[in-house]
Amino acid sequence: MITKMKRREFITLLGGAAAWPLAARAQEAGRIYRLGTLNLSPRSAPNHVAFYAELQRLGFIAGQNLVVDERGYGLHVEQLADHAAEIVKAQVECH
């Protein structure tokens, strides 16, 4: 069984991995990046706050050059499949 600390480290690593595709390529001037999420935890969870702080450090700023689908936070397990389908249709950068 994964301990709480290992679980937190894994979640943080997973969140960071989601940002790699955005950070790996140079930003195009005037481009708006779209981020879709599937999360059981709320947007205010510490791992999400850290994730967006890192994105901002890399130059991706919500409301400026980054649009975040906020509906992907605080989902119930039974909502994941439907929201995943919506993300695919929306053709977000990272999900």
Which residue ranges make up each domain of the chain?
4-90
48: left (phi over 0), alpha (psi -120 to 50) or beta: alpha
> What confidence score (pLDDT) does residue 39 get?
94
> What confidence score (pLDDT) does residue 1 get?
43
> What confidence score (pLDDT) does residue 29 get?
74
> What confidence score (pLDDT) does residue 19 get?
52
Q: What are phi and psi of 38, to 5 degrees?
A: -130, 100
Low-confidence ranges of the chain (pLDDT < 50): 1-2, 24, 95
In a 3-state reduction of DSSP, which class is residue 34?
strand
* Whole-prediction pTM: 0.64
> What confidence score (pLDDT) does residue 42 get?
95
Alpha-carbon distance of 25 to 67, in angstroms, equals: 17
Sign of CA dihedral 85, 62, 59, 38: negative
